[in-house]
Structure 1
Amino acid sequence: MPSAAPTAEAEGPSPRLALSHRDGVMVVDAATLEVVGDAATTGFIRLNPAGDGRHVLVTQEDGWRALDLGAWTEPHGDHEHSFTTTPRLTATTIAGSHPGHVVVHGTRTTLFADGTGEMQVLDTDSLGGVDGSVDVVRHKAPAAHHGVAVTLPDGTLVHSLGTEEARTGAVALDVAGAEVARTDDCPGLHGEAVAAGDVVTLGCEDGMLVYRDGRFTKVTSPTAYGRIGNQAGSERSGVVLGDYKVDEDAELERPTRVSLVDTRTGRLRLVETGASYSFRSLERGPAGEALVLGTDGRLRVIDPDTGVVKRSVPVVGPWREPLEWQDPRPSVRVVGDRAYVTEPSRSRLVAVDLTTSRVTGEAILPHVPNEMAGVAG
């Protein structure tokens, strides 16, 4: 991608998608599904929303690099102006040993480096600097581990605790770094989400941790081993969508039930979907709907408060989750009122209007897509 390009004013926001492939990242116009850019990179590529409606953070061997998707909107008095340009990899890089989870919440983005346990917090609107520099606030966990951290609007930092051998719990620190709450009751901690009211959830092998109003509580699984790892939250809902696995010894369990945890009441509801799914199958809609993409190729729309499957939309062909987590498999991401679903076996991208539950577009991509992230433009 070029280092600089002309900028044009658009009639309104121009949502775009980033899709990784074996040799780089494609950028796709979310309205037309046309490829508008392709950045070459090396190594296994992971994509993380940056939170500013314009950039995606590309995980590299030694940190993260900002990819400008080339579409953004700026406030101007009582109205806004939207712009587009050619997508490009920027000079903005954030160093980190074994870069891991990137979590966006509110106006802050928090990055976790597994190799050191270092956390870096940045303002989401700080990625557009010409010189590539970005100001970060640094924190460090007591020990390096595959971890995760979330920064809340009041500056509270919630992060995982563990070692390279095991993850066991979490701690909450106030803006001055003083400990607010701590728990060691989360074996195998993995994954996070934020629900309405700035409530943080963290997955455990026996349920879910909930951080709310300055303290941790535990929602216990109904089975002795009931692992919740991958989660999807929504600022429109107090319920968090999660996976649910019960076979501790499985090489790769293919569950058909998902979990819905009400962070207000502590209730955990299991919903049978009728098809297995993968860690890239869980997403939330614009009104807080719980979305699950099944291996039968259908996108299920679930009422998070009742667990009722309201709609089941056929979007791709049947598929089977591969054993290696890095291998491509269908995934779903929401931008605005549309869900976008990939079908790697056919290099296909499908758009679904969530207001009508109808497929509104599809395209064959020039590369096999793997991970996906989107921006509102």
Structure 2
Amino acid sequence: MTTSHRWAGRTSLRSRLLRLTAAGAISLTLAACAGDPAAVPPDTSNQGPAAGGQGVVADAAETAEPPLGLTTIDAAGTVTHLDLLDESVSDLGTVGAPTAVTTDGRYLFAQTKAGIEIVDSGAWTWDHGDHSHYYRSDPRLLGPLEGDGPAVVATTNLSSTGGTGVFFADSGDAVLLDTEALSEGELVERFRLHTSPHNGMVVPIGSFALVTRAENGATASVAAYTSDGEPTGLEEPCVDAAGTIATRVGAVIGCRDGALLATVQQRELTLERIPYPAGTTAAAATAFTNREGRPAVASLADTDGVWLLDTRERSWTLLPAPAPLVGVTAVDDDDEHVLALAADGRMLVLNGEDGAILAETAPLVADSIAAGHVPALIADQQRAYLSGPVERRLYEIDFVDNARIARAFDTVGSPTFTAETGR
């Protein structure tokens, strides 16, 4: 049975959330403006053969605005959806107890003992670059996709075409799921390759997928395959591959000596190496974050600072860390803002050119960090969203207005994993 209720502002939210009991905190986030004037319309050949459409599937209704929501999974596997437009909350069902969750803005890929269990939030945006279309359908639970060991999930920026990559470390199984089939409620494997066990990944790009290869149990290179699992013969070294993200330009994979950028033009796949600046001794980037779909991405360089990778310019910038940091994300706006989460719980607004602090909040999530949590920090074009698992509070922060807290919400027992959906 599906239940619904509404979320209100900070003073009345507590009395309306008695049914939401879970272990973590919700991280609230809004999608970037669909008609971003700074964005370049994407090359549809990067997104697969069906990308020329509008993301329409059967039984989906087009909406006038993005159907934004938060789809959450608690420590026991209970799935809940908060509609950010009307503030209703619905119980969607249950998956196994999750250990990790990845999202593409529509689906949640939850790692459980059964493998990867997939939640379709039923809300998504189809980005045409200069305009967007918005859709809503009934949410549903899919899966599981079976596999052994920790899994890495890699997605694209489109949730109803192309592929979704899953790599299981213990078995070495490299799987490419058919994302269009997911949109129709079906779990279809385009291929499943049996490789040697290692901490690898499968990265979809257009009508291709990149699969890591290992030597002596460690990643040594990345090889390209067609979406049907046929090798293309294209392979590039990538020692200690870690971290991947889809940008408006192409797909990024982090390597020990820099990054690989995969692009598709006129259905031709190209792999470009973007090395770190000569002479750098900073730690490598191992996890990339940004405002969804933008060309620039950010990663912590351990304690050495913040790496910014501009996939349009094919260049790295190392910003000094103004304080010990636990998280960072690139806004990639006209003012080149970078958002960072300090180890003392402050959110910092940094200058993307020199790393200087432009604005900061009070220590909003200090207790969470002290307890070993890394609160979610997500940016859209005008707002930042920060979760406090221990504080049981959500913050909406206007980072262009002196890091002003625009809204704060108290929660009663927050979900462990949260994804913004409908974007």
1:345 matched residue in structure 2: 390
Map Cα deviations across residues 180-210 of structure 1 (whole Å, 9 max, x no partner): 13215x2x32112344421523142xx4222
> How far apart, CA to CA, are the structure 2 residues paired with 1:117 and 1:232?
26
Pair 1:111 & 2:163 matched: no
2:413 matched residue in structure 1: 367
1:257 matched residue in structure 2: 305
Gaps of 5+ in 2: 4-59, 263-269
Give 1:344 shift: 1.0
Pair 1:122 & 2:177 matched: yes
Give 1:244 shift: 0.8
> How far apart, CA to CA, are the structure 1 residues paired with 2:92 and 2:383?
23
Tell me which of the two structures has the higher relative contact order, counting C-alpha pairs closer than 8 angstroms and 6 or more residues apart.
2
Map Cα deviations across residues 51-74 of structure 1 (whole Å, 9 max, x no partner): 3x4332222223222223354569
Residues 32 and 359 (structure 1), Cα distance of their counterparts in 2 relative to 1, 3 Å cut? farther
> How far apart, CA to CA, are the structure 1 residues paired with 2:178 and 2:194?
20
| SS at structure 2 position matched to 1:158 | strand
Pair 1:190 & 2:242 matched: yes
Equivalent residue in structure 1 for 2:97, among 38, 43, 47: 43
Deviates more, 1:110-119 or 1:304-313: 304-313
Give 1:291 shift: 2.7
Write out aligned runs for 1:47-196 (5 A): 47-49=101-103, 51=104, 53-72=105-124, 82-83=135-136, 90-107=141-158, 108-129=163-184, 132-140=185-193, 142-153=195-206, 155-162=207-214, 165-174=217-226, 176-184=230-238, 186=239, 188-196=240-248
Residues 271 and 16 (structure 1), Cα distance of their counterparts in 2 relative to 1, 3 Å cut? same
Give 1:292 shift: 2.1
| SS at structure 2 position matched to 1:231 | coil
**Kept after mapping to 1: 8 A contact 2:165/2:177:** yes
> How far apart, CA to CA, are the structure 1 residues paired with 2:61 and 2:296?
40
| SS at structure 2 position matched to 1:190 | coil
Give 1:343 shift: 0.3
Q: Percent identity?
A: 18
Equivalent residue in structure 1 for 2:300, among 243, 246, 260: 243
> How far apart, CA to CA, are the structure 2 residues paired with 1:127 and 1:315?
41
| SS at structure 1 position matched to 2:390 | helix
**Kept after mapping to 1: 8 A contact 2:338/2:349:** yes
Pair 1:228 & 2:273 matched: no
> How far apart, CA to CA, are the structure 2 residues paired with 1:158 and 1:260?
23
| SS at structure 2 position matched to 1:329 | coil
Pair 1:295 & 2:340 matched: no
Pair 1:285 & 2:285 matched: no
Task: Give the counterpart letter for 1:227 in structure 2.
Answer: A
Residues 150 and 310 (structure 1), Cα distance of their counterparts in 2 relative to 1, 3 Å cut? farther
Task: Give the counterpart letter for 1:98 in structure 2.
Answer: G
2:317 matched residue in structure 1: 269
Residues 80 and 274 (structure 1), Cα distance of their counterparts in 2 relative to 1, 3 Å cut? closer
The root-mean-square deviation of aligned C-alpha atoms, in Å, is 3.8
**Kept after mapping to 2: 8 A contact 1:145/1:163:** no
> How far apart, CA to CA, are the structure 2 residues paired with 1:256 and 1:216?
22
More strand by share: 1
> How far apart, CA to CA, are the structure 2 residues paired with 1:335 and 1:375?
13
User: How many pairs are equivalent?
Assistant: 348
> How far apart, CA to CA, are the structure 2 residues paired with 1:200 and 1:363?
35
**Kept after mapping to 2: 8 A contact 1:239/1:305:** no
> How far apart, CA to CA, are the structure 1 residues paired with 2:289 and 2:393?
24
Give 1:15 shift: 1.0
> How far apart, CA to CA, are the structure 2 residues paired with 1:304 and 1:62?
42
Give 1:308 shift: 5.2
